[in-house]
């Protein structure tokens, strides 16, 4: 399994590190436009191999796509991150051009690859990759919901005073400060609905803290987060590499599912060797349906800013 990660910045390098530590890929190519940057990150990471006991080979490349040839999975993290006070949507002007060019370069070298889109605004960048590459929809995956769900579980565990491993939950909808839909109704602590333990008021707080998870970290760090994003991407890559058939909420092109069409937005999918193997349609409450509808309206508005 060969994986390419474009963008050797905070998220790309973190993603490469987690993939290597999990030791399921034979090779990870890190590519960046900044001269020598990806080579430096790759060398630094390779010098952790004996300490962290992995055999994955990590190779750096300054914009030489020939090194990415024959990749099975490619991850796009290239682009600018937001600064405190910004929304992800404000990044569209710069990131759309980068994502379009990078995806076309990647496909030229790895025509059968599965693409994972990370750059923000992620749902719109995933839509852009659909519209500009014309690849089958199972091979274009937007990463947002896996991260948002991990943050949801963190906030639920905090509210419950429970270990995170005891908690399960999922966030669907757009990967934006207002568009995320944390499904508190379905969240559980060791199979018991969390609604048995937490008041509606506390659950509302959990929901709101989850939705602004990225903004909260951006304010603290001065730029957006990378550890949990990198870990979330590595989990998706592993599900594909190891044909795990795991369910993650991912941004995928909808064709009528959840009453939505011609939009990429986060819904539960089964991830395996062919990428998105199935979109899982769950019964939503009337309130949740309304949240998803509003979330989709927000994503569509951002999609409308693309020059397609
Ligand atoms: N979807 C998510 O859940 C999620 C999570 C975290 C970050 N992000 C997004 O990921 C992106 C990267 O964030 P980061 O913190 O790693 O930023 P960063 O600035 O640390 O890294 C981005 C890297 O992309 C490189 N780059 C820019 N243009 C390029 C090009 N044309 N070709 C190759 N490389 C290029 C830059 O040189 C830089 O090293 C941002 O858009 C951010 O908003 C998304
Ligand atoms: O918040 C951001 O801008 C980055 C990313 O989308 C995140 O959720 O961490």
pLDDT (tens digit per residue) in 24-51: 999 999 999 999 999 999 999 999 999 9
- Please give the distance, rounded to the nearest whole angstrom, from the Cα atom of residue 296 to the centre of ligand 1: 24
Alpha helices in the chain (DSSP H): 10-22, 37-46, 49-52, 92-109, 122-133, 145-160, 200-211, 213-221, 227-241, 286-303
Whether the CB of 76 sits within 6 Å of ligand 1: no
**Residues marked as catalytic:** 175
Which residue lies with its CA nearest to atom 9 of ligand 2? 214
pLDDT digits (tens, 9 = 90+) for 82-131: 999 999 999 999 999 999 999 999 999 999 999 999 999 999 999 999 99
Overall average pLDDT of the 126-143 stretch: 98
Of ligand 2's listed atoms, the one at least distance from the Cα of 86 is: 3
Q: pLDDT for 253-293, tens place per residue?
A: 999 999 999 999 999 999 999 999 999 999 999 999 999 99
Residue with CA at minimum distance from ligand 2 atom 7: 214
Ligand 1 atom with minimal separation from the 225 CA: 6
Q: Domain 145-303: state its class.
A: alpha beta
Does the annotation place 7 within a ligand binding site?
Answer: yes
Q: Is the distance from the beta carbon of residue 32 to the nearest atom of ligand 1 less than 6 Å?
A: yes
Q: How far apart are CA 165 and CA 295, in angstroms?
A: 29
Per-residue pLDDT of 13-27, as tens digits, reads: 999 999 999 999 999
Q: Do residues 142 and 123 touch, judged by C-beta distance below 8 A?
A: yes
Which ranges in the chain are annotated with CATH 3.90.110.10? 145-303
Residue 91: CB within 6 Å of ligand 1? yes
Q: Is 230 in the pocket of ligand 2 (CB under 6 A)?
A: no
Q: Report ipTM for this prediction.
A: 0.99
Name the superfamily (CATH) of residues 2-143.
NAD(P)-binding Rossmann-like Domain (3.40.50.720)
Q: Where in the chain is the domain with CATH 3.40.50.720?
A: 2-143
């Amino acid at each position: 399994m060969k994986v390419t990660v474009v963008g050797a910045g905070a998220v790309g390098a973190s993603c490469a590190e987690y993939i290597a530590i999990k030791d399921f890929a034979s090779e990870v190519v890190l590519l960046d436009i900044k001269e020598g940057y990806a080579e430096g990150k790759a060398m630094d990471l390779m010098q952790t191999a004996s300490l962290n006991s992995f055999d994955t080979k990590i190779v750096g490349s300054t914009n030489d796509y020939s090194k990415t040839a024959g990749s099975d999975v490619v991850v796009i993290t290239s682009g600018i991150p937001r600064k405190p006070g910004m929304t992800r949507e404000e990044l569209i002007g710069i990131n759309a051009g980068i994502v379009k060019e990078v995806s076309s370069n990647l496909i030229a070298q790895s025509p059968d690859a599965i693409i994972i889109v990370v750059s923000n605004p992620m749902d719109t960048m995933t839509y852009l990759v659909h519209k500009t590459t014309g690849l089958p929809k199972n091979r274009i995956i937007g990463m947002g919901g896996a991260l948002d769900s991990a943050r949801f579980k963190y906030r639920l565990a905090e509210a419950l005073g429970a270990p995170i491993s005891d908690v399960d939950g999922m966030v669907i909808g757009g990967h934006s400060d207002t568009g995320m839909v944390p499904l508190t109704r379905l969240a559980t602590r060791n199979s018991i609905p969390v609604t048995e333990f937490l008041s509606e008021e506390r659950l509302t707080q959990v929901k709101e803290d989850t939705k602004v998870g990225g903004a909260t970290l951006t304010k603290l760090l001065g730029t957006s987060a990378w550890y949990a994003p990198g870990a979330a991407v590595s989990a998706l890559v592993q599900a594909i590499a190891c044909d795990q058939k795991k369910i993650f909420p991912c941004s995928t092109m909808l064709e009528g599912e959840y009453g939505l069409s011609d939009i990429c937005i986060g819904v539960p999918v089964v991830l395996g060797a062919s990428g998105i193997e199935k979109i899982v349609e769950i019964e939503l409450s009337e309130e949740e349906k309304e949240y998803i509808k509003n979330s989709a309206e927000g994503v569509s508005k951002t999609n409308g800013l693309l020059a397609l």
